[in-house]
Structure formats: structure tokens, C-alpha cells
Structure 1
Amino acid sequence: MCQLQRRKLSLLFCLGLSAIVYSVIYLWIKTPTEPKLLDSPRCRTFATECKAFLPGIEEDVEWHRQDCQVESFILNNQLQCSNLTKDLHFITRPLSREEEDYPLAFIVTIHKELELFVRLLRGIYMPQNVYCIHVDAKAPMAYQAAVRRLVSCFKNVFVSSRSESVTYSGFSRLQADVNCMKDLAGSSIGWRKVVNLCGQDFPLMSNLELVQYMKSKEWRDRNMTPGVKQPLHMRYRTKFQYRQVVGSHVAFKGWGIKKSPPPHKLQVYFGTAYYALTRAFVDFVLKSSIAHDLLEWSKDTYSPDEHYWVTLNHIQDAPGSYIDGEWEGNIRAIKWREQGTAHDGCKGHYVRDICIFAVGDLPWIINKNSMFANKFESDTYPEALDCLEQWHRNKVLDQATVPIKPSWLLATRKNSSSSAFNSTAGA
């Protein structure tokens, strides 16, 4: 009898314990997991050198960043578009009538550094503009999915309909821009000029300053493609045939195999891969037999994006052409290793002879007053991007002619002798 009683008690104990365990599991499954948003206490503080570029230094003001986990926010599968613009501090309305009346188009080619891309997009984003994002076809699928998830939250941002596997200095880099141009040509947004960027750029001019620069007497009806007649030491790029080793590099197609002369007896020019082009010129690129033939001829050249745009822009009949133009146009602030006497040296480090900027490079960058600066890495020198981004956002909001929304602020100001935060745009 006692043995039977003990068995009953053991059975009841096991049933009770099982009920508790199942209840805990049920509640754990049913409880919704909230997206991990921005965690202010984990924000990096601004570098000491940054204080010179932020207003309020004479008032003993400290700046406290509000935006710290951009990448983890985008990677979160539960990202809600309704919260994205607010939580990531995107500007959600035109800041002036002048900007609203002069929409711009942007082509952004990316393959890595998700956080840097999001911060770049945030820096150039305005709701009246349009943005084509070309994601390298060989980028990790998780990266591509994250970009598409972000882009899907904006009506005026889209991923290029055709993706290239981009090879450094190869034709695929030029083709990526052309792909986006085809998409932008069909856009219902009446953009006036298109600017191309890579994922490691960051703006120096505000959108208003870009508009005013494009509308200036010098550039109002012109394309901006800095460059000169192809120098002798650069003729190897178009004299011989090259092939792309996909995802790796560009190599000679065969030893000493020469190319035919350029089509239509065109004079080849050499310049930057970056530009600001009129919409009429883009139509010319897409429809002209001259542009098409030059594009085909360029397929087996070395770094064709550095001769294609500038060559077409020196054709008399091309819309907005600048046949007497040379290196005019403040397209990029870049520190090239070979141009050491033109700058104060790279405070970060060089990659392919281009400086990856550190905080110490910011005075030179800002004083250049270019449209954009290149290059940044969010992992290597994050403080440089933190500082420049805050400096740029301050300027953008200072120039606004509309009320500033608190969500547009990237940082708040606090007087070191007071606990009160300043919630204005702050300049």
C-alpha cells in the first residue's frame, strides 16, 4: 500500500514538473521578439580632434551620438519600414523649394561595408531625388538581401535591374553604371543631373549645395567629367586588348595583342570615373550609335570608365559637352600617394595608392570643398566617418528652410556643466 502511494506521488510530481516546463516553453515561443534597435549607451564618443568641426566648442558643449548600430538594425529580419526612416534618422521631406524643383539622380555601386552604405545613403537621401543601387553580383547573399530589404522601404530608391560581377579596373564597372542609367531613364521622377558614387564615398556638400553647384553658370548646361587628352603614359590602357579575370583583376588578353583604333576616329581622353551628367547626355549615351560603338570598343580595354565618359563629353554634338574642359569640377577629394605634394600626407593608410581617411585627414577634406570624399572604411577608422557625418548633417540642417524634426538629428548636444540636452539642429 505504501509502495503504491509512493508511485502515485512520483507520478503527480512528474506531471507537475512537465506542466511547468511546457508552460515556460509555450510562453517563450509566444512572446514576440522585439527588433534590436539603436543602443545609445554603446555609441562611440566623438574623437577629440572632431571637436574643432562641431559647433558649440566655445560653449564647452559635448556631443552625444544617438546612432550606433546601423548594420545590426538593417540585418534584423523584423525590420519595419514604418520605423526605419525615424530610427535611422533619414530626412523625410525636401528642405527647400530650390532643392524640390531640381531633383537629382544618384548611381551607387556597392559590394561591401553595409554600415558605410547605409550612412552614405542617409547622407545623400532626399525624398525628391531618385537612387539606383548596383549591388555586385558576387557580394554575399546576406549582404544583397539586407540591401534589398532596406531599399524596399523607399519609393525613390531601387536596386539595378541588372547586376554585374564587378572586377576592379574592368569593363564590368562601366557596365554597372550603364545598367543604372537605363533604369533611371525610365524613372517618373524628373531628375536633372545624375551623379555616380561608390560605397566608400561620403558627401561633403549638402544636397542644396550640390543643386546650386549644378545650377551655377559654369555647370548649368554642362556635363562634369574631369580629364584631358590621353597622356602617352596612359595609352597602354587602350592600345592593347585586356580580359577580366572575374572577381580578381584585369590581365592582357594575349602578349602584345593590339586593339583597333577607336571608332568614328574619336580622340580618346583620360580622366576620373566620376561625373555629373545631364539627363539629355544620358539619353545620348543610351541611344547614340557613337556612344554604343565606343562602349563596345571599350570592352577589352583597361579601366574603361576612366576614358569613356570624358571622351564622349568632348564630342561637339553630345548634349552638354565640354570640348575645352580639362580637370575642372570639384568631383572628389582624394589623396593619391603619387600626389604627395598636393596634400599633407595620408593620416590613415593607402590602398591601391588611395588614402583611407582617418580623423587627421578631416581638415584637408573639409577645406577641399569638393562634392564628395573618397575613401572611408567603417571598421578601420570609424571615428573619421562619425565626425564627418555629424559635421555634414549639421550643415544640412542649418541650411533647411523647413522645421527640423527631432528624428533627423544624429546627435544631441549637452553642456558639460548641465544635464539638459539640446534638441535643436544645433549650429
Structure 2
Amino acid sequence: MCQLHGAKCSFLFCLGMSIIIGSLIYFQTKMPTEQKYLQPQSCRPISAKCKAFLPKLEKGVEWCKRDCQVKNYILNSNLTCSSLIVDLHFITRPLSHKEEEYPLAFIVTIHKELELFVRMLRAIYMPQNIYCIHVDGKAPMEYQMAVQRLASCFQNVFLSSRRETVTYAGFSRLQADLNCMKDLVKSKQSWKKVVNLCGQDFPVKSNLELVEYMQSKEWRDKNMTPGVKQPVSMRHRTQLQHREIRGSHVVPKGQGLKKGPPPHNLQIYFGTAYYALTRDFVDFVLKSQIAHDLLEWSKDTFSPDEHYFVTLNHIKEAPGNHIDGGWAGAIRAIKWRDQEGMTHSGCKGHYIRDICVYGVEDLLWIINTNSMFANKFESNTFPEALDCLEQWHRNKVLNQSTVPIEPSWLLATKSSSSSASYFQQVC
């Protein structure tokens, strides 16, 4: 009997230990995984090359990025929104009354570079603004779901209700912007002007500086669509019919099939695909018969996003028009290969499609241009360039704030506990 009792006790003891150990393993595996993605020791230090425009990079003190694996963090399906907003350092309050009174709208078209998109979004994000994100139809499903999860954490960030499979230089690129414009005008959230971005842009001006620039005497009631009358060298784009190979490229139709003249006897202009447009102008684009007819005529042209808005902005019927405005409007800092020796001294990164992908040594040029945004960046090829510009931009944003700084808004840490700054003093 005693032996039986002892065996029973041993069995119960072993069973209890098994349950405890099993429970520990279960809860360990079910623990929220957010912190696994943000380990400070895996962060790369901010490059000493940033010192030229980050003067607080003291000699002998190592600064560390606080979020080291943004892409993996966003891909984690177990994220809670409250953790994401804090851990990724999104700003959660308007930083000044001036900004709160002048909300902006942003259209962001993306198809790759998830980490770069997240870092760009948090750089431009303010709770009073509104953001329409167009995810290319050919983007991987994992990418699309990650962007959707991120957008769902914010009331003022949403995905375009209609998605295009975007073709480089095709009509689909213009259509993606128009889809977002339709969504933005339906939104109950107010906004004054809309700016469009792509996934490889990054801001140079702070949100406050954007507001001040758009409210300046020159641009207060004006649209910003840099461009000129279509040069002879560009006329083939709109004089010949083109066909879009969905998601791939654009080719001429047949053996040089010619198009008819533009509707309403419009003078065609050529400019950048980037703009800053008033709310009234966007309404005009979506409702005007002139705009509708030009849009239909543009469907078989090459890169219509580079003539559509700038052409409409040069007609007297358009609200906020800027007739003969030329290339005015510091929208983008871009180093074009054919402008070496004229507007810049060369690309310190590398060229893709004759546009510079920036390296660290390009950043002083970018900052000195004082443009609204810079294009283009790659987070994998030249990560230090993005690190430096991001930290410089966040420093400027927080220095301009009229409200107390939240600790979670800081992007970097340092190992020293010396003089206080806009960095957390723990590494």
C-alpha cells in the first residue's frame, strides 16, 4: 500500500512538473513578439560621416538607431497598434497651431522598399494630415498585407479604394494618383493642399516648413506644377499613339501612328510628375469637362503624368492656376545624370534611369537645395544616407516643436549620459 502510495505521489509530481514546464514553453512561444524585432544591440551606429550636419555627434560617442529591423517588425502579424506607434516613433500630436490649422493631404504610390516606405511615412506623418497610400497591384501579397496592417493603426492613413497595376511611363501611373484624389475629396477630414510622393522619396522640409512654404505669398493660393511648354524633343510623347504593356513598359502603336490634336485647343506643357495642388484645383480636375477630355486624350500618350496636371494648371479656368510659372516650385531635389556640372557635381551613390540614388556624400547638396523632398533613396544599397537624413530631419522637426517632446518620438540613442539633447540618453 505504501509502495502504491509512493508511486502515485511520484506520478502526480511528474505530471505537475510536466504541466508547469509545458505551460512555460507555451507562454514563451505566445508572448508578443514586438520586442524581438527591436533589439538595440543589432542596431548599426549612425555613421561618423553624418557629423557635417549632425553637430551633436560628439567625438568618441556612438549613436545608435532605436529601430533596427523596421521591415521585420512591420511584417509581424501579431503587432498591436499601440506598440507599433510607440516603437516606431510616430509623432502623435500636432507640433504647432500653425500646422494644425493647415492640414495637408499626401498621395503615396509604392510597390517595393517596405522599410523605406515606413520610415518615409513616419517622417511626414502628423495626426492632423491625411494620407492615401496606393499599393501597386503587382506588389507581393505579403507587402500589401503589411502596408494594410500599418495603415489600419491610424485613422488618417488609408489605402486607395481602387488599385492599379502600375506601368512605368504608362497611363496607370496617372490613374493611381487620380484614384487617391477621388478618395481624398470624399474624406470627412479637411485638407488644404495635396502633395504626391513615391516610395523612394524622403522629406527635406519639416511639416511646419511645408505649411509655411505653401502659405507663402508666392504659393498661398497657387498650384505648384513645375514645367514649360512642351519642347520639340518631347513632342513624340503626345504626337504618337502609345500602348501600355500592363505592369511592364510602354511602346509606340504600330509604325508611328499619330494622334489627333489635344482637346479644347490646349497648349501641352511638359514638367515633373510631382505637384502640390489646392483643394479647389483637385475638384476641377475631377469634375471639369476640359480635364475629363484631356484625360481621355492622354490615355495613349507616353508618361501622361508629366503633362496632365501641368497643362491644366496653365489654363485660365483652373483654380489656383500658375500660367507661365516655368520651373518654379522647389518640390524635388533630384540629381539627373545629364545635369552633372550644371546643377550638381555628380552622384556619390549610383544612377538608375539617369537619376541618382543618393549616398551619404550627396546629403549636403540635398540639404542646401532646401527642396520639399528628395528623390531617390534605397535603404539596402546606401543605408547610411537614409539614416543620416532621417536623423537630421527628425532633429529639425523636434527643434521646431511648440509642444513638449514625447520620449517615443526620438529616433536614436547614445552610450554616453552627457549633456541632454533630443536623443534618449540610454544605449
TM-score (norm 2): 0.92
* Alpha-carbon displacement from aligned partner over 1:113-162 (angstroms, at most 9, x marks no partner): 11000000000000000000000011000000000000000000000000
Q: Percent identity?
A: 68
Cα-to-partner distance string for 1:375-402 (whole Å, 9 max, x where unaligned): 0000100000000000000000000000
Distance in 2 separating the partners of 1:288 and 1:20:
75
Distance in 2 (CA, whole Å) between partners of 1:141 and 1:160 is: 16
Q: 1:78 to 1:57 in 2, by over 3 A?
A: closer
User: Does residue 151 of structure 2 align to residue 151 of structure 1?
Assistant: yes
Deviation at 1:67, TM superposition (A): 1.8
Q: Residue in 1 aligned with 2:3? A: none
How far off its partner does 1:48 sit?
A: 2.0
- Does the aligned pair in 1 maintain the 2:411–2:423 contact within 8 Å? no
Query: What is the aligned partner in structure 2 of residue 225 from structure 1?
Result: 225
Is 1:397 the counterpart of 2:394 in the alignment?
A: no
Post-superposition offset of 1:25: 5.1
The reply to whether residue 204 of structure 1 matches residue 204 of structure 2 is: yes
Corresponding residue of 1:28: 25
2:198 is the alignment partner of 1:192: no
- How far did 1:66 drift? 1.2
Aligned-partner SS, 1:366: helix
SS where residue 367 of structure 2 aligns?
helix
1:33 counterpart letter in structure 2:
M
Question: For residues 103-252 of structure 1, what are the structure 2 equivalents within 5 Å?
Answer: 103-252=103-252
Please state how far the C-alpha of 1:210 moved relative to its aligned partner. 0.1
- 1:73 maps to 73
1:191-220 Cα shifts (integer Å, max 9, x gaps): 000000000000000000000000000000
Aligned to 1:355, the other structure's residue is in SS state: strand
Structure 2 residue aligned with 1:268 = 268
Say whether the 8 Å CA contact 2:32–2:79 is kept in structure 1: no
Structure-1 separation of matches of 2:218 and 2:61: 40
Q: 1:354 to 1:395 in 2, by over 3 A?
A: same
Q: Tell me which residue corresponds to 1:354.
A: 355
SS at match of 2:318: coil
Task: Check the 8 A contact 2:223/2:313 in 1, yes or no.
Answer: yes
- Which residue does the alignment assign to 1:47? 47
How far apart in 2 are the matches of 1:188 and 1:170? Answer: 31
The alignment status of 1:91 with 2:91, answered yes or no, reads yes
Of the structure 1 ranges 51-60 and 65-74, higher mean CA displacement relative to structure 2 is found in 51-60
**Structure 1 residue 261: Cα displacement:** 0.7
Alignment partner, residue 388 of structure 1: 389
Answer whether contact 2:45 2:62 (CA < 8 A) is retained: no
CA contact 1:95–1:400 (8 Å) conserved in 2: yes
Q: How many residues align?
A: 415
Any idea what SS the aligned residue of 1:422 has?
coil
Q: Secondary structure of the equivalent of 2:299?
A: helix
- Partners of 1:198 and 1:181 lie apart in 2 by 15
* The 10-residue stretch of structure 1 (62-71 or 231-240) with the greater mean CA deviation from structure 2: 62-71
Residue 195 of structure 2 aligns to a residue whose secondary structure is strand
Change over 3 Å in CA distance of 1:404–1:30 after alignment to 2: closer
Query: How much is the aligned-residue C-alpha RMSD, in angstroms?
Result: 2.2
Closer, same or farther: CA 422–288 of 1 in aligned 2, 3 Å: same
Quick check: 1:227–1:310 contact (8 Å CA) kept in 2?
Answer: yes
The 3-state SS of whatever aligns with 2:188 is: coil
Deviations for 1:206-254, whole angstroms, at most 9, x for unmatched residues?
Answer: 0000000000000001000000000000001001111111111111121
Post-superposition offset of 1:36: 3.5
Deviation at 1:26, TM superposition (A): 5.6
How far does residue 255 in structure 1 lie from its aligned partner after superposition? 1.4
- Map 1:307-318 to 2 at 5 A: 307-318=307-318
Q: Is the 8 A contact 1:337 1:354 kept in 2?
A: yes
- Measured in 2, the distance between the counterparts of 1:27 and 1:64 equals 33
Distance 1:382 1:95, change over 3 A: same
Q: Hey, what does 1:299 align to over in structure 2?
A: 299
Q: Residues 297-322 of structure 1, C-alpha deviation per residue, up to 9 Å, x if partnerless?
A: 11110000000010000011100001
How far apart, CA to CA, are the structure 2 residues paired with 1:144 and 1:57? 37
Hey, what's the Cα distance between the residues in 1 that align with 2:276 and 2:309? 10
- Pick which of 159-168 and 182-191 moved more: 182-191
Q: Is 1:130–1:191's contact at 8 Å kept on the other side of the alignment? A: yes
Contact 2:412 2:423 in 1 (8 A): no
Secondary structure of residue in 2 paired with 1:109? strand
**What amino acid does structure 1 have at the position aligned with 2:235?**
R
The code of the aligned residue for 1:389 comes to E
Distance, in Å, in 1 between the alignment partners of 2:64 and 2:402 is: 25
> In structure 2, how many angstroms separate the alpha carbons of the residues matched to 1:237 and 1:20?
76
Q: Secondary structure at the match of 1:300?
A: coil
Pair 1:14–1:258, CA change in 2 (3 A): farther
Structure 2 residues without counterparts, runs of 5 or longer: 1-6
CA contact (8 A) 1:412 1:421 kept: no
SS state of the match for residue 340, structure 2? helix
How far, CA to CA, are the matches of 1:249 and 1:49 in structure 2? 39
Unaligned runs of 5+ in 1: 1-8
- Shift of the 58–19 alpha-carbon distance from structure 1 to 2, 3 Å rule, reads closer
Q: Report the Cα distance in structure 2 between the residues aligned to 1:285 and 1:62, rounded to whole angstroms.
A: 51
Deviation at 1:414, TM superposition (A): 5.0
Contact 1:414-1:420 within 8 A present in 2 as well = no
Bigger shift: residues 167-176 or 17-26: 17-26
Distance verdict in 2 for CA 1:271–1:289, change over 3 Å: same
Counterpart contact for 1:412–1:422, Cα < 8 Å: no
